[in-house]
Amino acid sequence: MESQLGLCEESFDLRYSGWVREALNELPDCFTITDPCASGHPIVFASNGFLKMVGYSKEEVIGRNGRMFQGPDTDRRSIMVIREAIREERGVEISMLNYRKDGTPFWMLFQMCPVFSKEDGRVINFVGVQVPLSRRPRFSGLRLRSEMSLYEDGGGVRDIRCCRREVCSDSVLERGRASSVESVSSLDEQEDEINKPCQANELEKTRASVAINNILSVLTHYSEYTGRSVCGKRCCSTANSRLVSSLNISLGRIKQSFVLTDALLPELPIVYASEAFLKLTGYTRHEVLGRNCRFLSGTGTDPTTQFQIRECIRSQQACSVRILNYRKDRTSFWNFLHISPVRNASGKVSFFVGIQIDDHCNDREAHELIPEMRQLSVVGAIRVAVRGLSMGASTS
């Protein structure tokens, strides 16, 4: 858990300067920031106001997916609306029922927007603002309970009860029974009421919009210090930038070490790197994205093997090689590498996938699938995801 917390905070800190957390926590709003490029789309920042609202600590939230706040009565349609907005890299505003740590449900207005890289138009983060929604108090049964209190505490009524004890006692008992029944009924009604849809008013919608603008302003300002500027609107876009970002959730489920490169851009830059690849090579995601895979080569890398890889890419054919690569700390490892083209729904090669297996780990993993089968299964999963999403984009 601590390692996951550290990784999520590190990915956030690489994009923004060190003062960004303090600046964000000065905002009074309840909000989270997530990283769609990381496996599982985890929360990488949660405001103090949000933590207080839901009753969790920072350590319990960072590194987790936002679905941890959903419960049995959360509308499945609301969840699908949010997922679709993430896939399409757009904002969304919706009222939904969430749950605090103690299990109590509450209605909130959820407003989410993407944060784009100014450099290449990729989605870097999603900001999600949560505004608790208020309900009008229910008054059923209160009038009768107030009348009961008059019989017990009101001076004038007590005198009447003393004079007409036999009448008042019967009346009080009957009213007491009715009050008890109505109290139980009122609790049931309140439980039913909390599950009924609750819509935000204009003031609550305005609060959410103002909060989004303030958060984006802070992120934009503090990203400029690192040279990795972000903005609330896509400033530039490549043909595949939207598609690649939409693939993150699907690709994050694949545990094998692999990278996805953009076949439509010069130098075939890496547009996705799996968690296993980052662990194998020692690089962070921000050090990998946008670079050509040859940065893994070194003095001992065979030029003949490199030429074989280039020819495979030029002819858009799959190939498997054994190549000496280097980690970030410059330690070497023998990489059993498989490269394969990935075509979109129209049959055009959009990506190349490179799947890495540390050759020294084969003996320990003899009980698993042989390397070739593991690599082919990854290629198949990526091809299905790419074709599925590109077909969806063409019909939308």
Q: What is the pLDDT of residues 108-121, one digit of tens each?
A: 999 999 998 887 77
Question: Can you give the three-state secondary structure of 300-362, one letter per residue?
Answer: CCCHHHHHHHHHHHHCCCCEEEEEEEECCCCCEEEEEEEEEEEECCCCCEEEEEEEEEEHHHC
Does residue 156 or residue 53 have the better pLDDT?
53
CATH level 3 topology of 2-135+201-231: Beta-Lactamase (3.30.450)
φ and ψ of 121, to 5 deg: 80, 5
Q: pLDDT at position 193, please?
A: 57
Does residue 339 or residue 39 have the better pLDDT?
339
pTM above 0.75, yes or no: no
Q: pLDDT at position 85, please?
A: 85
Looking at the predicted structure, is the pLDDT value of residue 159 above 70? no
Looking at the predicted structure, is the pLDDT value of residue 9 above 90? no
- Nearest residue to 282 via CA among 328, 316, 331: 328
> Which residues, including other chains, have CB under 8 Å from residue 177's CB and lie 6 or more apart?
none
Specify which of 168-172, 312-316, 360-364 reaches the highest per-range mean pLDDT: 312-316
Mean pLDDT calculated for residue range 282-288: 88
Looking at the predicted structure, is the pLDDT value of residue 230 above 80? yes
Six token digits for residue 356: 């890495």
pLDDT band, residue 174 (cuts 50/70/90) = low
353 - beta bridge partners?
A: 260, 340
Q: pLDDT at position 148, please?
A: 40
Average pLDDT, rounded, for the chain: 79
According to CATH, where is 3.30.450.20 located in the chain? 2-135+201-231, 241-395
pLDDT band, residue 177 (cuts 50/70/90) = low
Say if residues 242 and 264 touch (Cβ distance below 8 Å): no
CA distances from 95 to 28, 31, 213, 318 (A): 20, 15, 19, 48
pLDDT band, residue 152 (cuts 50/70/90) = very low
Mean pLDDT calculated for residue range 213-225: 93
pLDDT band, residue 383 (cuts 50/70/90) = confident
Does residue 176 or residue 385 have the better pLDDT?
385
Residue 24: strand, helix, or coil: helix
pLDDT band, residue 36 (cuts 50/70/90) = confident
Q: pLDDT at position 37, please?
A: 80
Say if residues 335 and 359 touch (Cβ distance below 8 Å): yes
Q: pLDDT at position 241, please?
A: 52
Q: pLDDT at position 48, please?
A: 95
Q: pLDDT at position 236, please?
A: 55
Does residue 149 or residue 300 have the better pLDDT?
300
The percent of residues above 70 in pLDDT, for the chain, comes to 73
Residue 31: strand, helix, or coil: strand
Whether CATH 3.30.450.20 fits 241-395: yes
Q: pLDDT at position 220, please?
A: 93
Helix (H) or strand (E) holding 132: strand 123-132
> Which residues, including other chains, have CB under 8 Å from residue 260's CB and lie 6 or more apart?
244, 247, 251, 270, 271, 272, 273, 342, 351, 352, 353, 382
pLDDT band, residue 344 (cuts 50/70/90) = confident
Span of 178-182, 288-292, 343-347 with lowest mean pLDDT: 178-182
* pLDDT tens-place string over residues 255-270: 889 999 988 787 888 8
Q: pLDDT at position 84, please?
A: 82
